[in-house]
Amino acid sequence: MSKCEVPYKIYLEESEVPKEWYNVRADMKNKPAPLIHPGTLQPLKFEDMQPIFCDELIRQELDNETRLIPIPDEVQNFYKMYRPSPLVHAVFLEKALGTPARIFYKFEGNNTSGSHKLNSAIAQAYYAKKQGLKGVTTETGAGQWGTALSMACSYFDLDCKVYMVKVSYEQKPFRREVMRTYGADVTPSPSMTTEIGKKINAEHPGTTGSLGCAISEAVEAATSTPGYRYELGSVLNQVLLHQSIIGLETKKACDKYGIKPDVIIGCAGGGSNLGGLIAPFMGEKLRGEADYRIIAVEPASCPSFTRGKFAYDFCDTGRVCPMAKMYTLGHDFIPSANHAGGLRYHGMSSTLSQLYADGYMEAVSAEQTSVFAAAEQFARVEGILPAPESSHAIRVAIDEALKCKETGEEKTIIFGLTGTGYFDLKAYEAYNDGKMTDYIPSDEDLAKGFASIPNVGL
Amino acid sequence: MSKCEVPYKIYLEESEVPKEWYNVRADMKNKPAPLIHPGTLQPLKFEDMQPIFCDELIRQELDNETRLIPIPDEVQNFYKMYRPSPLVHAVFLEKALGTPARIFYKFEGNNTSGSHKLNSAIAQAYYAKKQGLKGVTTETGAGQWGTALSMACSYFDLDCKVYMVKVSYEQKPFRREVMRTYGADVTPSPSMTTEIGKKINAEHPGTTGSLGCAISEAVEAATSTPGYRYELGSVLNQVLLHQSIIGLETKKACDKYGIKPDVIIGCAGGGSNLGGLIAPFMGEKLRGEADYRIIAVEPASCPSFTRGKFAYDFCDTGRVCPMAKMYTLGHDFIPSANHAGGLRYHGMSSTLSQLYADGYMEAVSAEQTSVFAAAEQFARVEGILPAPESSHAIRVAIDEALKCKETGEEKTIIFGLTGTGYFDLKAYEAYNDGKMTDYIPSDEDLAKGFASIPNVGL
């Protein structure tokens, strides 16, 4: 397509919003390793997963072959509320940096969940409804995923039971209220409503909870309540599939205006945003049709890609979930309380892990004070207060643009702006007050986490 | 223009964003009454206002004749960050209500200030910069205006000094942090940095402040600091002029898709949003070219239009500002602590007051529990968590749509969704907990406020 004038914000037409998700696994020669049962070490089969997940989502989880999967009409309809999301030409940022680089960002924060999480939440809620279920359970830490699933369940009139890490429940009451406004039942975890919750409360009186514990409670609640299933907002293949809508829209907008990215940058916690953003570009790369530099950015305090091991490990600290082969810091690794809660996960998507192991991606880590400096610089010139998670990508996009300033290269940089920071003002306050600290785990810290990685010989 | 298929969200092209503001006063036969000096009772002249306001803004304030005023290039450039804002066809709400009415809303919340306030903030900051000023001062209560002006000043590298009502400063730390992130100097009011602040602190030890006091401090700081002026986010004619961008975009989108509104609804506190939204439609009505029902919605707890008097009154409780002829509850009227801080003002724009007095508009009031019921219903189906202020308009839009359901009329309703409620979750919490109460002032309560309206015989 010929290059035409690029508007500041590129909105696709409603009719241009993709009608199929793209499954990058179909183009991978080395498929991501399957989830395995921790007892038998055998790959999980459809039946093994049925008590936990919806049937159709299991099919998507296991499907490494189908390249394009139709987006159900009902999901497309919901997407209309907030999609297409804009691909923004960061002209104000370029000017502030004085860079010859062209910078674009795909902004996923213009919806009440405040992030890209809604893309998968609505799909997962839809399949639960279609299966005739009564409700779903999940856990939430920072609260973006819990909010997204609450909104999605409200739309399909499904019950939504959210186990929210107790310390977040108490310290982030506003996120909790958004979920309640959407009709969700929000329980601080560990609670006395599950066996595992009672056990943890008995063993650790006064504990403020953890994501691992909340996952265990949510899974128990789903499997012990008739008509319920458990849903998860990242890491899984199915989630990356749904999130491919981000990348597909980005690619279409690029094609429409003749933009060819040299570098694509995304923050990475469990991998939902990065996996979605890069999907069609990675597809071209895997098929040898085009080349792009693809950079994952993770917090220096939780460096699964850059300092972790590629091995089978439990997906949760409570060891109730299956094991996945991924870059991991060990399921016992406890990252410092950095402010990007969505990136504070010991592991990483199996799909992205395989792509990284095979050399299709790079990864870098960033320290949080430098991330917030980038966030503030961005907010002041581009007018959007970014989420701490997204700001990791901003940091590296700025760094790359500044390199171009030195070399004079007119590179095109695209990064994912996954969400807004309206519920992260405590973190901004710490930064504004000069009280934010960095934390980089020592080799000894990492060794402790690595010790928890089971040696399954796979 | 022929009627074409209406998309769910109508985004104008960048090139279609209006390049001129529309001054509705030019089409009014009865001009809004001028601001007068409380001592002389004479209309304020340019020179009288110079110590307080920027020169160009005074010209706009006084100009009742020029119909179209060019939007400076620098302001147009900034508008690109978040404009055009979408005109959304509320198909999900229509379906939920089962109404034959067509409902559209103009959504102004997709920017970090969270509201339409940015439209005027950037214009006011621009004129301050152009005049070579060093900085501006303002007051903020709920914080939307303070946030907007902070963003605008950051863009033009102007100092921004915000006096924030002390109780808000302490109870809304997140709003404060957004302002600080944009580099604003935020002072809890009453402070010890101004004479009036010291006086109030001495007379009322431990006071948590009021908007009236914060205005007084901001005006004093502006007039006593070389190179500073004061800026205000509502009520004034200049603000309505800048906010006409809302209505102009709405009108253009309507014309493009053959939408002809029967009813236009907006919430009204000082009038900035309503005045902006209705501007071009009111213009047609004033010129006899078209007719529309125009409805202002105000809180039952602060009913300036529906129960106030049309008279000259002070704009602030501290009596440091000039007097305006407007619908007022009296500058001593203290509205109950309802959750729509942006609508808790004793008076109303002089322009809108004159139009209301002349019969061009209707006004209704709504109680806050019914407003929050509408907010929740809207959030669940349209995916946006609305600001309490905006939800007043939602309430009446839903009521009008339900009337259409009874009568079978296929009316077209447009309302202004001025902002998001991400910083109002305390209010949602009260609603979710069933602890929200309504407050309707008694005739005796109103009589006390009315007693403070000066009898100037005008």
Tell me if A292 is assigned to some domain. Answer: yes
Cβ contacts of B378 within 8 Å, gap of 6 or more: B93, B384, B386, B391, B394, B398
Q: Closest residue of B to A374, CA-based?
A: B181
Closest CA relative to residue B193, chosen from B174, B175, B166:
B166
This prediction's pTM: 0.94
Tell me if B409 is assigned to some domain. Answer: yes
Is B177 in contact with A382 (Cβ distance < 8 A)?
A: no
The 10s digit of each residue's pLDDT in A270-299 is: 999 999 999 999 999 999 999 999 999 999
Pick A383's closest partner by Cβ from B112, B383, B431: B112
Min distance A167 CA to chain B CA atoms (Å):
18
Phi, psi of B294 (to 5 degrees): -120, 125
Is A178 in contact with B385 (Cβ distance < 8 A)?
A: yes
Give yes or no for a contact between B193 and B199, defined as CB atoms under 8 angstroms apart.
no
* CB-CB neighbors (< 8 A) of A92 in chain B: 81
Sign of CA dihedral B31, B32, B37, B40: positive
Count of C-beta atoms within a 10 Å radius of residue B157: 11
Tell me if A235 is assigned to some domain. Answer: no
> Does an H or E element contain A416, and which?
strand A412-417
Tokens 């870059």 belong to which residue? A327
* pLDDT band of A7, cuts 50, 70, 90: confident
Min distance A323 CA to chain B CA atoms (Å):
35
Same domain, yes or no, for B443 and B294?
Answer: yes
Same domain, yes or no, for B8 and B31?
Answer: no
Amino acid at A222: A
Task: Report, in angstroms and rounded to the nearest whole number, the Rg of chain A calculated over CA atoms.
Answer: 21
Is A14 in contact with B9 (Cβ distance < 8 A)?
A: yes
CATH number of the domain encompassing residue A61: 3.40.50.1100
* CB-CB neighbors (< 8 A) of B174 in chain A: 422, 425-426
Pick B379's closest partner by Cβ from A14, A182, A383: A182
**Structural domain that includes position A386:** 3-19+83-114+244-449
Report the relative pairing of strands B228-230 and B135-140 from DSSP bridges: parallel
Q: How many domains does chain A have?
A: 2
Note the pLDDT of residue B2.
38
Q: Closest residue of B to A183, CA-based?
A: B380
Closest CA relative to residue A384, chosen from B161, B386, B110:
B110
Is A425 in contact with B182 (Cβ distance < 8 A)?
A: no
Cβ contacts of A331 within 8 Å, gap of 6 or more: A212, A313, A314, A315, A316, A317, A319, A346, A347, A452, A453
Sign of CA dihedral B95, B96, B100, B102: negative
Is B181 in contact with A151 (Cβ distance < 8 A)?
A: no
Same domain, yes or no, for A334 and A438?
Answer: yes
Is B151 in contact with A376 (Cβ distance < 8 A)?
A: no
pLDDT at A140 over 50: yes
Annotate B269-296 with b (16+ C-beta within 10 A) or e (fewer): bbbbbbbbbbbbbbbebbeeeeebebbb
Is B380 in contact with A82 (Cβ distance < 8 A)?
A: no
Tell me if A28 is assigned to some domain. Answer: yes
Tell me if B235 is assigned to some domain. Answer: no
Same domain, yes or no, for A308 and A208?
Answer: no
Note the pLDDT of residue A212.
78
Note the pLDDT of residue A347.
93
Min distance B146 CA to chain A CA atoms (Å):
15
Tokens 């999609």 belong to which residue? A83
Same domain, yes or no, for B300 and B218?
Answer: no
Residues of B with CB under 8 A from a CB of A: 7-9, 11, 13-14, 78, 80-82, 92, 110-112, 114, 151, 154-155, 173-174, 177-178, 180-183, 376, 379-385, 420, 422-423, 425-426, 428-429, 431-432
Same domain, yes or no, for B126 and B144?
Answer: yes
Q: Closest residue of A to B89, CA-based?
A: A81
Q: Closest residue of B to A174, CA-based?
A: B425
Is B422 in contact with A155 (Cβ distance < 8 A)?
A: no
Name the DSSP class of A431.
H
Please state whether the peptide bond connecting residue B190 to the residue before it is cis, i.e. omega within 30 degrees of 0: yes
Q: Closest residue of A to B429, CA-based?
A: A177
Give yes or no for a contact between B104 and B412, defined as CB atoms under 8 angstroms apart.
yes
Task: Report the percentage of chain A scoring pLDDT > 70.
Answer: 99
What is residue B92's three-state secondary structure? helix
Structure tokens at B109: 């919340």
Choosing from B230, B258, B280, the residue where a domain stops is B230
pLDDT at A2 over 70: no
Same domain, yes or no, for B288 and B434?
Answer: yes
Tokens 């597909």 belong to which residue? A248
Closest CA relative to residue B277, chosen from B246, B242, B233:
B246
Is A80 in contact with B380 (Cβ distance < 8 A)?
A: no
Interface test with chain B among A112, A171, A431, by most B beta carbons within 10 Å: A112
Note the pLDDT of residue B318.
74
Is A110 in contact with B111 (Cβ distance < 8 A)?
A: no
Is A181 in contact with B379 (Cβ distance < 8 A)?
A: yes
Q: How large is the ipTM?
A: 0.91
Is A177 in contact with B432 (Cβ distance < 8 A)?
A: yes
Report the relative pairing of strands A68-70 and A20-22 from DSSP bridges: antiparallel
Min distance B444 CA to chain A CA atoms (Å):
36
Same domain, yes or no, for B195 and B276?
Answer: no
Residue scoring higher pLDDT (A343 or B406) = B406
Count of C-beta atoms within a 10 Å radius of residue B170: 13
Q: Closest residue of B to A384, CA-based?
A: B112
The 10s digit of each residue's pLDDT in A10-59 is: 999 989 999 999 999 999 999 999 999 988 999 999 999 999 999 999 99
Tell me if A456 is assigned to some domain. Answer: no
Amino acid at B120: S
Give yes or no for a contact between A351 and A237, defined as CB atoms under 8 angstroms apart.
yes
Q: Closest residue of A to B111, CA-based?
A: A384
Same domain, yes or no, for A151 and A209?
Answer: yes
Is A384 in contact with B112 (Cβ distance < 8 A)?
A: yes
Quick one: how far is CA B113 from the chain centroid? 13
Note the pLDDT of residue B213.
83
Pick A376's closest partner by Cβ from B8, B181, B381: B181
* CB-CB neighbors (< 8 A) of A4 in chain B: none
Q: How many residues does chain B have?
A: 458
Min distance B77 CA to chain A CA atoms (Å):
10
Give yes or no for a contact between A91 and A76, defined as CB atoms under 8 angstroms apart.
no
Choosing from B205, B230, B255, the residue where a domain stops is B230
Q: Closest residue of B to A178, CA-based?
A: B425
Residues A194, A135: Cα–Cα separation, whole Å: 17
What is residue A103's three-state secondary structure? strand
Tell me if A306 is assigned to some domain. Answer: yes
Helices marked H in B204-357: 211-224, 237-257, 272-286, 304-307, 350-357
Note the pLDDT of residue A148.
98
Average pLDDT along chain B, 458 residues, taken 10 residues at a time: 68 93 98 94 95 97 98 96 95 97 96 95 98 97 93 97 91 90 96 93 87 88 96 96 98 96 97 98 98 97 96 86 94 81 89 98 97 97 95 98 98 97 92 93 95 88
* pLDDT band of A3, cuts 50, 70, 90: very low
Give yes or no for a contact between A296 and A268, defined as CB atoms under 8 angstroms apart.
yes
Cβ contacts of B413 within 8 Å, gap of 6 or more: B101, B102, B103, B104, B261, B262, B263, B264, B265, B397, B400, B401
Q: Closest residue of A to B154, CA-based?
A: A380
Interface test with chain B among A122, A180, A181, by most B beta carbons within 10 Å: A181
Choosing from A172, A202, A230, the residue where a domain stops is A230
Name the DSSP class of B1.
-
Give yes or no for a contact between B391 and B372, defined as CB atoms under 8 angstroms apart.
yes
Residues B435, B198: Cα–Cα separation, whole Å: 37
Same domain, yes or no, for B11 and B25?
Answer: no
The 10s digit of each residue's pLDDT in A232-269 is: 999 999 999 999 999 999 999 999 999 999 999 999 99
Residues B396, B365: Cα–Cα separation, whole Å: 9
Pick A82's closest partner by Cβ from B112, B178, B383: B383
Same domain, yes or no, for B102 and B182?
Answer: no
Tell me if B76 is assigned to some domain. Answer: no
Task: Report the percentage of chain A scoring pLDDT > 90.
Answer: 84
* CB-CB neighbors (< 8 A) of A425 in chain B: 173-174, 177-178
Residues B329, B309: Cα–Cα separation, whole Å: 7
The 10s digit of each residue's pLDDT in A166-210 is: 988 888 889 999 999 999 999 999 999 999 999 989 988 988 888
Give yes or no for a contact between B116 and B419, defined as CB atoms under 8 angstroms apart.
yes
Helices marked H in A194-307: 195-203, 211-224, 237-257, 272-286, 304-307
Same domain, yes or no, for A177 and A253?
Answer: no
